[in-house]
Every structure is written in structure tokens, then in C-alpha cells.
Structure 1
Amino acid sequence: MQFENTKQFAQDLDEQDVLRKYRDQFHFPKVNGKQVIYFTGNSLGLQPKNTKRFVDEVMQDWSELAVEGHFYAKKPWWDYHERLAEPLSRIVGAKPEEITVMNTLTVNLHLLMVSFYRPTDKRYKIICEEKAFPSDQYMLKSQVKFHGYDPKDAIVEIKKRDGEHNFRKEDIIKTIQEVGEECALILIGGVNYYTGQVFDMKTITKAGHDIGAFVGWDLAHAAGNIKLELHDWDVDFAAWCSYKYMNSGPGNTSGCFVHERFHNRQDIPRFEGWWGTNKETRFLMKPEFEPMPNADAWQLSNAPVLALAPYLASLELFDEVGMDALIQKRNLIVSYLEFVLKEIDKQVDSTFEVITPSDPSERGTQLSVFLHGEGRKLFDYLMKNGVITDWREPNVIRLAPAPFYCSFEDMYNFGQILKQGILQKTSELSN
């Protein structure tokens, strides 16, 4: 498609957009009385308008039934989390029995590492990407220290080449092969939070298994964003948050994937709790733990139903649309945003460097833009003028036009605001 940086062209794209009606199903903040251009769905998704209905239903059942709501609510609370498994399985490419929802992301990664990081004298190292999301770095360091190892020795970081912004697949595979039999676990973010690079999870998972390591993925920036086939890729485990592309609300509950080959195995260590035991005998209060025959065996406590309700509301929209349609629009709107950025770059005395891969198969919804010579003042200008984006040091803004609610006209209007911000700064400097 031959793009044009005009409002009419953007509006024409919106007219052709089969998902355009979903924009009206989300609440938008306002700045100076005007609806914002929202680019931070990779940090916190907008609130779906159907969320209130789901939460109100739980509140009404609580007020009318109290404790009896566990069994007699419209959606009984004792198995509320099970309703999320099937729609989530379609989003991440899994079987419903491989999915559970519990806790929050880093908590779940810690719990899953109880099962999948079992270091020995010979096999104790963890491979991750350099400058992983800080929470992952803290988690990995604390895990290896808990097991008595020095993080400087036990954690192996895959490096980028000098002067490059993204990881090369051949370098990842080479590192895995070099660590070899010393590697106990590979745990990487499926989409790099800083650059938006999508990793080849299928190839990396196979490379890890070839050396006898477990392979897990932090899918915080991947779930609801890119095509995932966790079961077919033979991934051992994965976890993701729900408040970014899946719009479930701030700090909300996390999804987990555990491959079916680990179900019903007595030799898998894990921390155990009441909600992981067989639901048919759970209320007999037996002292022996009888694990659920699926990923729910990793559950500890009864589900936080008020937190799950917004997640279920969002999944209703995902089920209506499907990942294929979201990805189709995602590819087009991100490409159009990239085009707009390049057009504005030609019109002003500035240089933008998009550090996200240009290949659509290697990126999702996010474009990370290095603002050479612009700095924080430009970011502040954007925010004051109704463009909600985020800043990452040293000089990067991340733009994530979520396909559910961002429009092509948003992309055009953003370009005009960006242009004015740069020209205003240039004018101030000349004066």
C-alpha cells in the first residue's frame, strides 16, 4: 500500500478498518478537554466499557449472597478462574488445561521457577537477555542466590553486538550452545520491553531443549499483542500480566502456561496450596495434596474474583475479534505510524531513529523511537498536548498503537503534534 501523510488518507483507512467500532467500547482520558492519542497500551491498556458490568455482577452477588456466592453466584466464585482458560488458550496458542490465572507476573515466575529451575552442581546456569526488564533481573538474581550461587557466574546474558539495538538470533543460539550442559534454564522476555523486538520463541525453545535445559518465557509484552503457539512450540512454561494489551486494569492478575507433559507428574516439585488440590475433594479438608490434573495444580489460593472480572470482560472482546484480525490491523497501523514518523523527519531539522525491527515478523504493536538531539522536553510537549506515550532512558519514547482502540487518524494527528513540538523548540533556540 502506498501511504500518504494526510488526514484524508488516514480517515479513509479508518473507514476501511473492520475493527473501528471497538474504539467506542473503551474509555479514553482527556487532556485540555479533548480525547487523548493513547500510545501506552504496552504499559496499561484502556478500560473496556463492559468492565463495569462484569464487576457490578460480582458486587451484586456479594451483597445478595455473601459467602453463598462461592457456589450460587451467576458465575460461581469457586471456579471463576476456569472461565478464563479457554479464551486465553486461543490468545496464547495453548490447550485450555495448560492455562491458569493467579497472582501477579513476577510472583508467578518465581513460583514456576520452583518447578523449572532445579540447579545441580553441573547444571545451574540461567540464560537471559541483557538488560531484561528490571523485575526479571531482580527475580533471577534472587533465585540463584537462594540456591547458593553467585549471579555473576550463574546468570549468562545474551549480548547485542556493538552499535546494534537488537539481538541477533544466531548470537542467541550460539550462546545457548556455548553454555551447553551447564544451562538449567532459559528465561527471556518474548517481546523486548525496550525495543519491541519479538524473539523467535520456537527456534530458541528448541535450542534450549537440545542442550537439556528448561525454557520459559515472560510474555508481559507478548500476550494479546503477537501470534503465540506455546503448545506447538513445546514451551515448558510461561507467564504474562493482563493489564497491558489485555486491558484488565492496573496491576491485575497474571496468566500462566504449563505444558501438558508436566501435568499429573509426581516428580515435579512446586509450592502447593488449597486451590491446587483436586476440586472434587477440596472441601473434604483432607491433609494429603491431590493435584489438579492441569495447570491449576500450581494454584495456591482461591481466586481474587473482583480482579478476575475485568480480565474476563476484556477476554469477551478478544473472543469477538480474534488475534488474527487484531494482528492484521496491528501490522497496518504500525507500518503507517512508521511512515508518518519518517515523513515528519524529512520536514524538520531532526533525526528519529526507530530502533524496533522493521520486519513485521520481528515486531508487535510497539515502535521505540530514539530522539537524537530532542530529549525530555519533546516528550513533555507531547504529553501536555494530548499524546500519552512513555519515556525510557536515555532518549527513547515508546509508541504502541493498540489495534483495539487506536485509529489511523490518531497516527496522522500525532505526526502533526510531533512536528509542532520540534519546530517550537527550534524557534525557542533561535531566539
Structure 2
Amino acid sequence: MTTELTAEVCVVGGGPAGLTLAVELAKRSVSVVVLEQSGHFDRSFRGESVSPDSVWLLDRLGVLDRLEGAYQQMHRMEIVDSGRTVLRADFRRFPYPHPYPVEMPQPALLSALASLGQEKYSDHFTLVRRATVNRLVRAGGDSGPVKGVTARTPEGEITVRAALTVGADSRFSKVREMSGLSYTKLPLDRDVVWLKLPFPPEWDDRTYRIRINGDQHGLFIPTRPDSVRVGFNIPKGGLKELRAQGLPALYERLDRLAPELSGSVRSEIRSWSDTTLLDIFTALVPRWSMPGLVLIGDAAHTLTPILGQGVNHAIIDAVTLAPLVRDAFDQGGSEAALLRASQAFQRSREASVDKSRGLQLRQERLFALHGAGGVFRRSLYRVVDQSQKLKEKVLGGAYFQLQKPGPHAVEAQSSATRGVTGLPGDR
């Protein structure tokens, strides 16, 4: 039995990009159906670091209040290279409405977005869980405009017919594959092994820590309520070799980066199933849209984990696209109007994404340096450490692309923008 639904927009993927977009569309009285493959929002090592610009947007969208107590502000960043601190940044000195990145479990964020849509905008917002999209519905054959999707659910097949289909289904996007939109996957020279440990008592829980030793580095991220997420680099495709060396090789690697965790890693990580591998790559998608379909978030521009940019750009994408889609429907909702909106969305977002990707790739190259390159890296970090303006410039490329700095920015902008939606000018 096939169930049919009709909406103006069908969003494939109930992650930060998809749900933020759905809420923003429903708020604008655009009917939207979200198809989410999972039956729950339980996700570990997925987008828990939220950049300051996204925190600012979540506040403006009325979501942050729903997350009170579920997130933790981060006040500092510290880079230690070869046992010496080479860079400290204090976010409390950054003059923005929301200067702090936050650590927020993704299930809490997604639940807050879903409940907001279901409670406030139920006439226009529908979320279907356990729906696995398997086909794009096209008009006039396989190369025609997209008119929706079909999906498998435990109750049978579902067809959603929509004027616009949005692929928000992450870095391994099935919608992108089915659409035929070309892309280039650029593997980086490393992968990351993630694990979670009890938070060490000698650390404060408001500091991001980066530890570097030669060409090895680790990220140490406080995680509510009392854990630390640890991510350390291995060569691309190197997990098999690391596992062949046994868990002692993992322990010794962390000993060199963070001896404070030597005891807990041995007591908590007893098998490789206690770790998670993240395949690190970036994806370049020349064209994010085609008639009837547009990609957003990681489906359109996969980024690396550095500085939490995946969630950041996913949320900004959603807030940028929603008013453009609303305008297209106000113009009649034709295929041509929606395609123009999708193309305008890409034009407005591409430069910002490219800027963040460039910053991430430069950091990746710095982390990989060793020998004489390591001396250069340490010198560079020390130069940045001596200047607050340089810190603001370097981190501003990732963290502060939307917020405007200035005296009394926190008080003036947060009160002026609370409850306002859309980006000024949709840059």
C-alpha cells in the first residue's frame, strides 16, 4: 500500500539543516514534509560543537530558550604544541552578541527544532520518521524536473509530491547521488578516531584543547554533563594498521598527547567498538540545484570537523534559503521561480562556505607539519597569540561571519534581533 502526501516543499533529512529549514518554512506558512531515516535523534560524535554565529541564529529563531540547560558555553581555546602553550583565545574578549561557541548534544537540538515545528506550526509542518528515500519522482522521465520522492517506511511505501525537494541528508547524501548532480570528493590526508572519556578533574570544562606532538594532534572537547570527547588523527585509511597494533598503540598515542587521560583511556576503552572512525573529506559540488531540487548543508558542501563548521553552515543555509523559497511561492511557485531562488541561495552562500573551507584546510596542513615545519607552526601560533586583533581576524573567518562587532554589541544586538527571522540582506 502506498500513502501519498502533498506539500509545497519536501525536505529529505531531519538533521540541523533540514529541521531548521522546515521550521523556517512552516513559520512562513509554506507547507513542508520532512522525511527522516532514523526513528530517533540519538546521534553521538555528530555536530555537537555549535559556532557562535549559529548560537546567535538559534536565539533569533526562538530555539535557544528551549535548550536552556542542555548546552554549555565555551569560554576559551588553548593550543599546546610539543608541551608548550602556543596560543590562547578568550571568547569573552570578542565583541559580538553571542561570542561563545557552545557544546550541545545534537539530540537536544533536533528535538527542540522538531517540537517547535510540531507545537507552533503544525498546520504546515509534518515530520515522518523511519522513512528511507529510495527514488526521486520526476516529470517526463528520468531526466525531468524533480516533483518529490518515494520512501520506504515500516508501514509501507510513501510518496511525497512537492514543488521543491530539498536534499539535507548529510555528507553521504543519497539525494545528491540520485539527482545526478556532479561533485568531487577530496579526501584529506587523515581520518579521525573519536572516543569519549570521563572529564579529568585537573581541567576546566569551558576550554577547547588542541594538543599537538609532531604530526600527531588531538582535539579535547568538554561534553555535557561530565565527559570529554577526544578526536585524534591517523593516516587516511590507517585504522586497519592501528587496530593490528592493538589497543596499547591507541593508549600510547593518547599518553603522548594528553597524559591526564592515561588512566581513564585504559579503564574505559576496552575494545575498538568503544571508538568511532570519522572519514575526513570535503566535497565540492559545482551546482547545488536543478529544476525541482536543491541541496543544503553537508549535501551541498561537506566540511571537516575543524571549528564546528558543519552545523554552523547547515543552520545558516536553512535561514538563508527559507525566505527565498517563500518569495518564489509568492511569485506563483513556478518551477522557474523556485530554480531562481535555489540559484540565488547558492550565490549568497558559496563565498562564506569557501572561506570556512579554506580556513579548515590551512589548519589541517598546519597540524600535519613536523620537523622544521613544526617550528614554523609554533612560531605562527605565537605571533597570533600576541595580538587580540589577529585572534579576532583568524577566528572571525569561521566564527563571526554574520554578527556585527562593536561597543555594547551584546546588549544592543541581542535585544534588537530577538524573535526576528531571516538574515539581514541575506548576504
TM-score of Structure 1 vs Structure 2, range by shorter chain: under 0.3
Between structures 1 and 2, the one with greater strand share: 2
Between structures 1 and 2, the one with greater helix share: 1
TM-score (norm 2): 0.24
TM-score (norm 1): 0.24
